[in-house]
Structure 1
Amino acid sequence: MRKNLFGVIIILVGIILLLNANGILDVSIGSLISTFWPSVLILIGLFSLITNPASKTGGLIVFIIGVMFQLRNLDYFNIFEYLEFWPVVLILVGLWIIFSSQNKWQKQSKDACNPIAVFSGINLKNSSDKFKGGSATAIFGGIDLDLREAKIIDENEAVIDVFVAFGGLDIYVPNGWNVVVKGIPLFGGWSNKTTNKGNDKLPTLRINCFVMFGGFEIKEYTGVIN
């Protein structure tokens, strides 16, 4: 579906360029891009909501940001005349924290992890023999999450919600885990360096993420974390 969406976007761009070249559509490409670039964020948000409902909060945040910028560019409503941009971002971050599955794991801290690093750094190790997941939030901070001695038993699957904004996160997992990452990179990204990707027969760690101006890595690690 990702390939089909990208193909549709390329076709639409080609049609616009073709119509413009033949004088059927008289529009400046530069003006078109500067006016409708927020629509890309709207499409990304909708795509995430449709294809990855487990991480719907991240998709909703990107969708809302895209709508705000698009309304401003079309001169329908400029929210930035009433609110500064950064308070809006903080509100959206707060919504992510509230509606992520973090609250779901509060009573199971032994078998879950919920590190939150804000303008700080955290080194956390979880050695649970019934690891169930949790969440990790890094805002202008960094987290090292060591799961090398943890074991996944319940339904052979655990889920972690990840939110990274202007920060970083490293997750260290055992060699025998299958790690699946889904989410939205908004001027950020992630790297899954594990070797068992796609092997559903192994214990599976599912990571639902929203990454904004930051990044995180998943590594198979056998040494000592400094």
Structure 2
Amino acid sequence: MRNLYRSERREQRRQDRLQRRLERRRNGGSAAGQLVVGLGVIAIGMLFLLDNLGIIEFEYAFQLWPVIFVLAGALKVQQATSNSGRVAGGILIAVGALLLLKGMGFIDISWRTLAPVLMIAAGLLVVFKSTRARNDTVSSLLDKDAGQDSVVRLTALMGGIERRINTQDFRGGEITAIMGGCELDLRQASIQGQAVLNVFAMWGGIEIKVPDDWTVSLEGTPLLGAFSEKTIAPRDNAKRLIIRGVALMGGCDVRN
């Protein structure tokens, strides 16, 4: 009995450490994302200012447009809570770096070669997503009583995804839409207190439908994009969904 008690105590402490680690990542994710976006906007503004002052030529500054991909990838890696999300961010960074090196003349690669490379990268992301391990930081917080849909992970890459969740213990997750769209229907689901959903939309759209008794808190960062919250706030704030993330030339719409 004593050994069983010690084992349960160790497991409880491990779960508490994982919970605190996830909360730190959630609480710091929005601020860090806004910091990266702000620095990126400042850098772009400085380039245009230097061009207007005649210090650099606009044509040279325009060659730096792939930095957008690098910035988007860095934001995705920073906010990702799963391995597939980090891989998606890494692919965006790699694509941006290749385009940047090509535009600046450091490498000589044609679009006929680059296009298949992008297709291979997209395929690798799909394969990795389908075979990813289930025991990452978020899923490790699920106990035996939690359903399979308690944590959702959706990735739409040049396509569309529609998902309906009916779990009564929704705990959040991660949604990524890159040149595609995701629709998540949570109207039949429920929350035990609070849940955090991380979103990332780049040249794509995300639509989230929530029940009438949920309070929605948007903490997103739009960059040439938009976050839209069209819900009617309930009288009781017992169930709260916090949505954090980035909309880069894309959008996220929440409604009930």
Interval containing the TM-score (normalised by the shorter chain) = 0.5 to 0.7
Q: Which runs of no fewer than 5 residues in structure 2 stay unpaired?
A: 1-34
Cα distance, 1:41–1:126 mapped onto 2, change above 3 Å: closer
Cα distance, 1:138–1:103 mapped onto 2, change above 3 Å: farther
Inter-partner Cα distance in structure 2 for 1:136 and 1:41: 18
Inter-partner Cα distance in structure 2 for 1:64 and 1:173: 35
Please give the residue correspondences for 1:104-123 in structure 2 after superposition, counting only pairs within 5 Å.
104=134, 108-113=147-152, 123=162
Cα distance, 1:181–1:94 mapped onto 2, change above 3 Å: farther
Inter-partner Cα distance in structure 2 for 1:183 and 1:98: 27
Inter-partner Cα distance in structure 2 for 1:5 and 1:138: 21
Q: Does 1:203 align with 2:240?
A: yes
Q: How much does 1:220 deviate?
A: 2.2
Q: In structure 1, which of residues 35, 54, 59 is the aligned counterpart of residue 63 of structure 2?
A: 35
| CA deviation profile, 1:38-63 (whole Å, cap 9, x unmatched) | 234434544x2686465655543332
Q: In structure 1, which of residues 2, 14, 17 is the aligned counterpart of residue 52 of structure 2?
A: 17
Provide the residue aligned with 2:17 in structure 1.
none
Provide the residue aligned with 2:253 in structure 1.
218
* Secondary structure in 2 matching 1:219: strand
| CA deviation profile, 1:78-104 (whole Å, cap 9, x unmatched) | 44467341541451464377369x754
Cα distance, 1:220–1:109 mapped onto 2, change above 3 Å: same
Identity among equivalent positions (%) equals: 20
Inter-partner Cα distance in structure 1 for 2:154 and 2:69: 28
Q: In structure 2, which of residues 174, 191, 195 is the aligned counterpart of residue 152 of structure 1?
A: 191
Inter-partner Cα distance in structure 1 for 2:109 and 2:253: 37
* Secondary structure in 2 matching 1:62: helix
Letter in 2 for 1:144: E
- Report if the CA contact (8 A) 1:126-1:146 is conserved: yes
* Secondary structure in 1 matching 2:63: helix
* Secondary structure in 1 matching 2:243: strand
Provide the residue aligned with 1:191 in structure 2.
227
Provide the residue aligned with 2:6 in structure 1.
none
Cα distance, 1:160–1:56 mapped onto 2, change above 3 Å: same
Q: How many residues align?
A: 203
* Secondary structure in 2 matching 1:109: coil
Letter in 2 for 1:150: A
Inter-partner Cα distance in structure 1 for 2:125 and 2:221: 16
TM-score, structure 1 length as denominator? 0.61
